[in-house]
C-alpha cells in the first residue's frame, strides 16, 4: 500500500473507533465524566484499537464483536497517558495538542480519570455481547497482564528507576518492551483471541505486534530527538542516545522487516498491517 493509502485507511478506521468511543462514554453532568471525555475523546491516532480490529477481522470476527475490546485498549492507553503526564511522573503540560488533564482539572481529578478509565475498560470487555465466555476471559487476561506489573506499569517503574542513568541497549529494550511494547502486543492478540485465532496464527500476529511496538518506540525516540530532545533533557535513555541516529534508524527498519516477515503466510487481507509497519518507520526515513 502507498503511504497515502495507509493514511486513508487509518483515517477511516479512526473515525469508526472515535464513534464507538463516544457511544461508550456519553456526556453527563459530572466533572469526572467531563474530564474522562476530555482525555479519551481528544484525538490520538487510535493505533491500538485499530490493530485489534484489524487482527480480529483477519481471523474472521465481525467488527462489532471486536469493538468493545478495541475501545478497552484505548481506555487503558489514555489512562496511562493521563497518569504519565502528572507532575509525579513526566510532568507534561501538553498532550495531543491540548493542555494535559491535571492542568485543566487538577491533579486529584486527573488521577481519578486514569483510575476510572482503567476500571471501565474491564467493564466494557465484561459486557461485550456475542463473544464466547472463554474467549472474552482470555482477552481480559491478555489486557490485564499487558497493562499490569508484567507489562506497562512494570515498564514504567523500570523507567522511573532508570532516570538519570545511562541504560544499555538490553535494558532499554526490556523497559520499552513492557512500557510501550506490551500494549501493542496485546492489541494484536486481543483482536485475534476474540476472533478465535489458531495458535500458529496467534504466534505470527504476536511477533508482528512485538516488532511493530519496537519500531514504534524507536521512531518515537528519533522524532523526539529531532524535536529538540525532551526525553534526553529529562535524563531518559533513548534509542538514538544509545545507538546513534543512523543505527537507531536501521534498528527500526529491521523491526519493520521482521514485523512484515511474520505476516508472510497471510494474503492481501494483511496489507493494512504491512502498510502500517512501513508507515510508522517512514516517519523517520528519507
Ligand atoms: C503511567 C502506568 C503508567 C504508564 C505510562 C505508555 C506510558 C506508560 C507512557 C506514555 C509516555 C510515552 C510518551 C511513551 C512512549 C509511547 C508513546 C509514544 C505513547 C503515545 O502513544 P501514541 O503515539 O499516542 O499512540 P496517541 O496520542 O496517538 O494515542
- pLDDT one digit per residue (tens) for the chain, 286 residues: 999 999 999 999 999 999 999 999 999 999 999 999 999 998 899 999 999 999 999 999 999 999 999 999 999 999 999 999 999 999 999 999 999 999 999 999 999 999 999 999 999 999 999 999 999 999 999 999 999 999 999 999 999 998 888 889 999 999 999 999 999 999 999 999 999 999 999 999 999 999 999 999 999 999 999 887 778 777 788 999 999 999 999 999 999 999 999 999 999 999 999 999 999 999 998 6
What's the gap between Cα 286 and its chain centre?
A: 25
C-alpha 172 – ligand 1 centre gap (Å): 16
pLDDT at residue number 233: 78
Asked whether the beta carbons of 273 and 263 are under 8 A apart, the reply is yes
pLDDT at residue number 237: 87
pLDDT at residue number 234: 78
DSSP 95: E
pLDDT at residue number 286: 65
Ligand 1 binding site (Cβ under 6 Å of any ligand atom):
44-45, 47, 77, 80-81, 83-84, 89, 96, 152-153, 156, 179-180, 220
DSSP-derived 3-state class of residue 81: helix
Cell of 6: 495507509
pLDDT at residue number 215: 98
DSSP-derived 3-state class of residue 275: helix
Cβ count within 10 A of residue 163: 10
C-alpha 84 – ligand 1 centre gap (Å): 8
DSSP-derived 3-state class of residue 236: coil
Point out which residues pair with 94 in neighbouring strands.
99
What's the gap between Cα 228 and its chain centre?
A: 24
CA-CA distances (angstroms) from residue 74 to 78, 87, 114? 6, 22, 12
Query: How many Å apart are CA 34 and CA 155, to the nearest integer?
Result: 29
Given the CA of residue 147, which atom of ligand 1 is nearest to it? 2
The DSSP-derived string for 100-153 is -HHHHH-HHHHHHHHHHHHHHHHHHHHT-TTS-HHHHHHHHHHHHHHHSTTTHH
Nearest protein Cα to ligand 1, atom 20: 81
Choose which residue among 84, 158, 181, 276 to substitute to test ligand 1 binding: the one with the highest number of ligand atoms within 8 A of its C-beta: 84
User: Which residue matches cell numbers 485498549?
Assistant: 73
Q: Please name the helix (run of DSSP H) or strand (run of DSSP E) that holds residue 30, with its range, or none.
A: none
User: How many residues comprise the chain?
Assistant: 286
Indicate the angle between helix axes 133-147 and 152-162, nearest 10 degrees.
0
C-alpha 196 – ligand 1 centre gap (Å): 28
Q: What is the pTM of this model?
A: 0.96
* Residues whose CB falls within 8 Å of the CB of residue 125, separated by 6 or more in sequence, listed in order: 68, 69, 72, 136, 139, 140, 143
pLDDT at residue number 257: 98
What's the gap between Cα 240 and its chain centre?
A: 21
Cβ count within 10 A of residue 12: 10
C-alpha 92 – ligand 1 centre gap (Å): 12
Amino acid at each position: 500500500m502507498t503511504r497515502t493509502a495507509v493514511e486513508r485507511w487509518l483515517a477511516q478506521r479512526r473515525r469508526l473507533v472515535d464513534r464507538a468511543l463516544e457511544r461508550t462514554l456519553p456526556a453527563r453532568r459530572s466533572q469526572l465524566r467531563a474530564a474522562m471525555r476530555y482525555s479519551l475523546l481528544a484525538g490520538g491516532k487510535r493505533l491500538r484499537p485499530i490493530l485489534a480490529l484489524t487482527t480480529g477481522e483477519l481471523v474472521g470476527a465481525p467488527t462489532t464483536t471486536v469493538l468493545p475490546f478495541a475501545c478497552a485498549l484505548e481506555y487503558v492507553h489514555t489512562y496511562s497517558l493521563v497518569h504519565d503526564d502528572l507532575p509525579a511522573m513526566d510532568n507534561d503540560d501538553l498532550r495531543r495538542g491540548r493542555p494535559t488533564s491535571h492542568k485543566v482539572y487538577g491533579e486529584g481529578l486527573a488521577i481519578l480519570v486514569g483510575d476510572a478509565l482503567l476500571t471501565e475498560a474491564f467493564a466494557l470487555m465484561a459486557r461485550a455481547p456475542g463473544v464466547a465466555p472463554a474467549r472474552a476471559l482470555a482477552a481480559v487476561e491478555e489486557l490485564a497482564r499487558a497493562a499490569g506489573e508484567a507489562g506497562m506499569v512494570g515498564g514504567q517503574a523500570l523507567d522511573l528507576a532508570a532516570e538519570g542513568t545511562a541504560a544499555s541497549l538490553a535494558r532499554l529494550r526490556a523497559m520499552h518492551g513492557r512500557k510501550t511494547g506490551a500494549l501493542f502486543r496485546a492489541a494484536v492478540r486481543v483482536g485475534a483471541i476474540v476472533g478465535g485465532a489458531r495458535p500458529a496464527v496467534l504466534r505470527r500476529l504476536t511477533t508482528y505486534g512485538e516488532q511493530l511496538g519496537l519500531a514504534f518506540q524507536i521512531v518515537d525516540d528519533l522524532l523526539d530527538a529531532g524535536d529538540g530532545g525532551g526525553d534526553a533533557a529529562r535524563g531518559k535513555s533513548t534509542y538514538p542516545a544509545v545507538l546513534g541516529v543512523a543505527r537507531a534508524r536501521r534498528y527500526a527498519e529491521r523491526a519493520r522487516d521482521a514485523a512484515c516477515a511474520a505476516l508472510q503466510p497471510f494474503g492481501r487481507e494483511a496489507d493494512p498491517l504491512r502498510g502500517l509497519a512501513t508507515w510508522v518507520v517512514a516517519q523517520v526515513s528519507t
